[in-house]
Structures are given as C-alpha cells and as structure tokens.
Amino acid sequence: MSITVVGSIAYDAVKTPFGERERMLGGAATYFSLAASLFDTVRPVGPVGGDFADTELEVLRTRGTPTDDVQIIPAGKTFFWAGEYGWDLNSRETLDTQLGVFSEFEPQLSEAARDCDVLFLANIQPTLQLSVLDQCHGPRWTALDSMNYWIDSARDDLINVIERVDSLVLNDSEIRQLTGKASLAAAAREILAMGPSSVIAKLGEYGAVLVSRDGFFALPAYPLERVVDPTGAGDTFAGGVAGFIASQPEAKIDHGLLSTAVAYGTAVASYDVEEFGTDRVARLTFDEVQARVADLHRMTQFTHRSVQETFA
Amino acid sequence: MSITVVGSIAYDAVKTPFGERERMLGGAATYFSLAASLFDTVRPVGPVGGDFADTELEVLRTRGTPTDDVQIIPAGKTFFWAGEYGWDLNSRETLDTQLGVFSEFEPQLSEAARDCDVLFLANIQPTLQLSVLDQCHGPRWTALDSMNYWIDSARDDLINVIERVDSLVLNDSEIRQLTGKASLAAAAREILAMGPSSVIAKLGEYGAVLVSRDGFFALPAYPLERVVDPTGAGDTFAGGVAGFIASQPEAKIDHGLLSTAVAYGTAVASYDVEEFGTDRVARLTFDEVQARVADLHRMTQFTHRSVQETFA
C-alpha cells in the first residue's frame, strides 16, 4: 500500500515568540510526508528549484520516503513563505509568498505515484489537484485541503474537486467560508451533500472534528505546556490521518476508522509544534505516537453516573 | 444537599443574527439556578429592583427554586446588560451595562443559603465573592467565575478568593489573561499552584477543558445546527457542573467525578443556546439532559487499533 501527496515543498521564514528561522524546510507536502512515513510509503509530488539543498532532500527521505516525484527545476526557485505568529500562537500573519517554481508547475506523476492506495491533495490550485486526481488509478481513499485564497478566487474549480474526493480536511474557518454557514454541523452537512462522505475540521489548538454520514466525532488537541512553532501542524495532522488509513488496508473506511485516524493525526501533529519546522517529526518514533494516542484516549473518557433524581 | 449561587439577576437586551429581545430575564445567577435546579435545590443570592416583574420571579422559581435570598430593593433598578453577537455568534459586543441595585449590593445570606453543600461565586466583584464565601459554613465544593474587568481592576482581591476555592471556572481567554501564559496547560498549572484543585476552562463553541492535579480532560461542545442566542451558556454550564456535583453527596470529588460533571454542564448549556434567554432551560427535562450526555459520550469515543508496523 502507498500514499501519494501533492503540494508545496518550500523554504519558510518563521518568527514565533520562541525564536525565528530565516530559511527552513517547509511546505505542505513535506510536513504531510514526514508524518505519513511513520505509517506507510509516501510519495511527495511537487517542484523545487535549483536552490533546494541536498540536505533538505535527505530530510524528505526520512524513513525511506522515495523522492522520485520531486521535480527539480535547476533554473527555478523553491516556493518561499514567510510568516509571523502572535504571542499566543493562534494568530498568524503572512509576510511574504513567492511561488517560484510553483507558478508553472504541471504535475506529472510516476506510475508508482499513480498507483497509490491513499491520495492527499494538499493546499494548491484546485485545477492542479484535479489533474493529479485524474492521473491516479482509483485510490481507495482521497482527501483534499485548501485555503481561503482558493475558496475566494477559484471556487468553481474547488467545488469540482470536492465533488470527487472522499473527504475534505479544512480549518473550521475555511469550512464556514466555503459554505457561508456559521454552524460547523450545518456547514459539514452541506459539504456531505456535495459528495464527500466525511469532513474533517481542523480547529488548531482546539483539536479536530470529524463529521461523516454516520456521526460526529471530536477530539481535543494534545495539551502542551509549550508550543514553539505551529507551522505545518495541519499538514502533519493530515499526514497522520492518511497514514493511519493506509496502514489499515483490510479495514472498512467508516466513521470508527476515521475517528481513530483523527487521533493518530492529532498525536503526530502535537509533536510537530514542539520544535521549529520539521525537526521534531523527522526524528519521531512510532512508539512516541502511540503513547500520545493512548493519552488522548484517557483524556477524553468520562463515566456515566446515575444522578439522584430528587428533582428529575 | 443544596447549592448556593451569588451573582447577577438581570434584564438583558440581546441582538443575535436570529432576532432580538429588548428586555428579557438574564443574569449569571439566573442561568446558573435554572440549570442547577435540574439536579438539586439551588438558592440564588442577588438583588433586583422594584422594576423586577413577578413573572420573572416565577421563572426563577422553576423546579421549586427558593427565592428567599433574592433581595428586592423597591427604589432601585435591576441590573441591565445589552449586547450584540456577530454572524457566527463567537464575537460579542457589550453595548450597555447599568449596575442599578448591584452598585450598593452587600450580600446577607439566609441560614439556609449559608448551609449549602456546593457554593458557586458567579462573576461579580471579588470582595463580594469573598464576603459570601466567609458567610458560608464550609461548603463541600466551592468554585468561582470572573471576567476580564476584575482581572484587570481588582486582581489582588480576585487572587484572594481564588486561593480559597476548590475550582476556577473561566473562559480560556480569561485564564490566559490571569496568568499571562499562552498555553492553557501551563496557565492551569499556575492556577493549581495558587490553591484550587481544579480549573475548568470554558472554550465556547469548542467545549470545555478540566485540569486537575490528577489529569486533563477535554470535551467538545454539543454540535448544533443552529445556535440562536449564546447568552448565559457559560453560567448554564457552571450550573450543570455544580448541580451534578451536588447530586453526588457520597462521591469523592475527584478528576473522574468532575469529568462527568463537565459532561452534564455541557449538555445543559447546549440547550440554553437553542432559544433566546432562559426559555429553553426553564422547560428542560432531566431525560433530555441525559440523552445529550449519552450523545457526548458516543461522540468522543475512538477505538485503539493496531497499526501494521511495516515502518514502525
């Protein structure tokens, strides 16, 4: 079984209350791949420029990730993003975005990438997401992420892709923007009517919510005393979700399986934010992930107790 | 067993995307009492003016609530609050606050109110909270709420009360403001060091978090397709939490009991926001509460599954 992800491979400049990095490896496909590689083979698809260092390619190859579908365009520059976080790390300002090699990217997947079991379309132009989806040979599970920019500027294209995937993985604010509904439950219902069989809402520090035709599931974020850099948390989460699904080739992908996938995604993402960039997830072990999944299980338990119904 | 709550009994003018009310019964002690009365006898303590209608007093008396500790000051005016909510109901602007009879309120509790088993100090001036705490004969469980205004303007008084209660029930933004810590986990640890054995953070649409010396527990809000009026949700939640604790006189008040209490609080609060003001909770039944507690239990379950550790 294997996973294919298409999305940015980037250099990021990031400033948080705990420090700054002027040029660190980033990008949605990078974070996703590092997380998913804990569970299965993942093939990142995306372009980089001649400025992309071999040492970064080595990080991408963590846990044996094949990089055959990373296109190196020697004359081009790698996608660059700069951002700064507020004191509580919940607000983020984008200071710079340079598309570089991404401005003329036309994905051409290898046979191995087309043969994937699980396909994740990270946040890129919806027409590119559609092109990748068309090249794949019927993956068992497909999902996509997007952002406010595409919801505004390429809404029809985005809806075209949404209609064709199994799941939407979006921030709750983006889900509200897409549907115009204030209630997440109502917004999710509207998205389910478009085609997907599940919606996974990323709530940042408040965790994640899964809405499928079979129910509602919510999980808090893993509580941390110190968040150093939230960059990539959403893509790491998605990589954990998709990786877990790929690791269960015999299982039916139903509400229960997706709930557990959300727990794995949450656990992996909680490590991502503890250090700058990809540092923590690159050296993460599977035992560490399972320890936090077990913690999350414990932290969400409560016991029914009967109430002395004097007044009931 | 019984519960005492001190706090505002008010008239509210509220505007939400679903309508407006020019003058409806409100106030923290009101919402709290309506919720707690589902579980046990609750005695609201607070002043109202000569303008307070008998019909409102009747609502306060829902499920047999004694109103002996509601002081009627014929020459005064009832506390008044006016506010307006944004389209997604998460932002709220206060348009007017008139203290009325609250400006000279000096609580004098009846013997019955002093004899309470559970005491809740709703959001009022910390010196008044302290006076009420001093009048009570050693309640089994005590908790307080507060707000940004007191954290800013009466910090030392507030800390004095915090040091003497069992639990703090605050919005997460207020917990951050109080401690200056961005991480809720770190902030809660700091509050536990002040004296309380638990902190309950209200996260609005994202639910609630309990941090005690024995662990961390998180529960999402009950998912609703339509929220009509969030006014009083926090106080209704607190009333459900305190009510549940009062309903368990033989139980040890530990992390597990508080977790279940948070589930009951969440369930009751979810009904509050479905209609304007106190309408929904006034006619709420205990069976309806238990149905949503069971739903919440189901919505937070996930199963451990072993992962094919090809790469682990």
Asked whether residue B312 carries a pLDDT value surpassing 60, the answer given is no
CA distance A186 to A179: 9
Instruction: List the single range of A37-41, A232-236, B85-89, B270-274 with lowest mean pLDDT.
Output: B85-89
At residue A312 the predicted structure's pLDDT band, cuts being 50, 70 and 90, is very low
Comparing CA positions, the residue from B197, B219, B233 lying closest to residue B296 is B219
Q: Taking the CA of residue B29 as centre, how many other CA atoms within 13 Å lie in the half-sphere pointing to its CB?
A: 31
Residues of A in contact with B63 (CB under 8 A): 311
Asked whether residue A311 carries a pLDDT value surpassing 60, the answer given is no
Q: What is the pLDDT of residues A126-175, one digit of tens each?
A: 999 999 999 999 999 999 999 999 999 999 999 999 999 999 999 999 99
Residues of B in contact with A249 (CB under 8 A): 308
Is the Cβ pair A87, B182 closer than 8 Å? yes
Average pLDDT, chain B: 95
The alpha-carbon gap from B9 to the nearest alpha carbon of chain A, in Å, equals 23
> What's the burial of B87, exposed, middle or buried (CB within 10 Å: 0-12/13-18/19+)?
exposed
Residues of A in contact with B39 (CB under 8 A): 307, 311
The secondary element (H helix, E strand) that includes residue A288 is: helix A286-299
Q: What is the pLDDT of residues B9-56, one digit of tens each?
A: 999 999 999 999 999 999 999 999 999 999 999 999 999 999 999 999
Asked whether residue A306 carries a pLDDT value surpassing 80, the answer given is no
CA distance B266 to B273: 11
> What's the burial of A303, exposed, middle or buried (CB within 10 Å: 0-12/13-18/19+)?
exposed
pLDDT at B7: 97
In order of A80, A94, A102, A147, A157, the CA distances from A154 in angstroms are: 22, 20, 17, 10, 6
Q: What is the pLDDT of residues A242-285, one digit of tens each?
A: 999 999 999 999 999 999 999 999 999 999 999 999 999 999 99
* Number of neighbouring beta carbons within 10 Å of residue A154: 16
CA distance B306 to B286: 39
pLDDT at A87: 84
ipTM over 0.90: yes
Q: Are A206 and A173 in contact (CB under 8 A)?
A: no
Question: Which of A175, A302, A306 should we substitute to test contact with B (largest number of B Cβ atoms within 10 Å)?
Answer: A302
